Structure 1
Amino acid sequence: MKTNLPTLPSPTYPHTIENGLGEKLTFLRLQPEPDGDRLLVENTVTPNQGPPMHTHWLQDECLTVVQGLMAYQLLGQPAQYAGPGETVLFRRGTPHRFWNAGDDLLRCQGWIKPAHTIVFFLSAVFDAQVKSGQHRPEQFDAAYLMTRYAREYDMTDIPSFVKRVVIPATYRVGRLLGKYRKFAGAPAPVRE
């Protein structure tokens, strides 16, 4: 089906996103490498904030603390901590979360590899959080993203019933209501 809707522009770097809840992420640049582009990033997180437990199925994520105290956790394990100069690597397929465990701003530098759709995905998630004003993204946008990119990303804290029944139903209703026109030109999901 051909549409006259504009396609989403590719980001120029640096590209900064904020979720309105204390997280700011700057995609600095893509570094081409033979086995997939490395996306260099920098983030800041206010105290007690950070992303929920999630999984990148196809990407490794590495963060080095520049300032502050980062707490991080792998699914089923106790929280661990990293301070300035310490590096944490989250391997692809490993459910993880991190947050600012200190009283001051947490600032990290790092990378995500291979980049794939991460810039679009996280930009859309942050926009949906801004729209809802909560950590939980606006429901129709979340349903679109979790359906289209299910092979790339997972939100571990979402109950399986919601993933199997509620999200697909919300996605179908969103399609019927024309909620996803704004995503025309979204990058195709990665098929590995």
Structure 2
Amino acid sequence: MNIHYPHTIQNTHGETLTFLAVEKGPLGDKVLVESQVTPGSGPPMHTHLRQEEELTVVSGKMAYQILGQEPQYAFPGERVLFKRGVAHKFWNAGDEMLICKGWVAPANSIVYYLSAIYAAQNKSGKQQPEAFDGAYLMTRYATEYEMPELPFLVKKAIIPLTYFIGRLLGKYKHFTDAPAPLP
């Protein structure tokens, strides 16, 4: 996938994410991001199994939560670091647009993955991605990303079955440029 920066993606439930640039570094590439989130919106609980994510609030009020902990809040100028392997979510807890800047490192497949997730959300018109695309992405990138609040039955039976049916029906041709997952 050939990405030109800045690269902006938007979903139908209030999130706009701009990948500003990629910085090369000794520990891998770091993708610089800017996030704009409408009041009440934000990504669901998720885990970056191979990456850290840091966000600095530019304007607005960000609520964030680590799985199993109480929500916390960050205000303009405050920084929040989500460590690799730690389930987390954040959302706009204010009445104005939440704007954050930050980075994800190492970059790995994050630009492709989130671009594909946002496209699948737009296809479904909901926060949940379109079923076949979601099953493909969650299966292909299972070593990099996790949705910890999905029920066990969904993760272990419904997603694999949906992925299998999608393969049989030829639903994944638009993913031919998908980067290889990390081992």
Q: Fold-level match, TM-score > 0.5?
A: yes
1:116 and 2:108 aligned: yes
Aligned pair count reads 183
Tell me which residue corresponds to 1:40.
32
1:100 and 2:92 aligned: yes
Secondary structure of 1:127's aligned partner = helix
Tell me which residue corresponds to 1:17.
9
Alignment gaps of 5+ in structure 2? none
Secondary structure of 1:64's aligned partner = strand
Once the two structures are superposed, residues 16-65 of structure 1 have per-residue CA deviations (whole angstroms, 9 ceiling, x without a partner) of: 00012100000000000011111000010000000000000000000000
Q: Counterparts of 2:144 and 2:154 in 1: how far apart (Å)?
A: 18
Once the two structures are superposed, residues 70-113 of structure 1 have per-residue CA deviations (whole angstroms, 9 ceiling, x without a partner) of: 00000000000000000000000000000000000000000000
Q: Counterparts of 2:177 and 2:76 in 1: how far apart (Å)?
A: 40
Q: 1:65 aligns with which of 57, 65, 82?
A: 57
Alignment gaps of 5+ in structure 1? 1-8
What one-letter code is carried by the residue in structure 2 that aligns with 1:22?
G
Tell me which residue corresponds to 1:5.
none
Q: Counterparts of 1:47 and 1:148 in 2: how far apart (Å)?
A: 32
Q: Counterparts of 1:48 and 1:128 in 2: how far apart (Å)?
A: 21
Once the two structures are aligned, what percentage of the paired residues are identical?
60
Q: Counterparts of 2:148 and 2:27 in 1: how far apart (Å)?
A: 27
Q: Counterparts of 1:174 and 1:116 in 2: how far apart (Å)?
A: 25
Q: Counterparts of 2:74 and 2:179 in 1: how far apart (Å)?
A: 34
Which TM-score applies when normalising by structure 2? 0.99
Q: 1:135 offset after TM fit, Å?
A: 0.4
5 Å matches for 1:21-170?
A: 21-170=13-162
Secondary structure of 2:95's aligned partner = coil
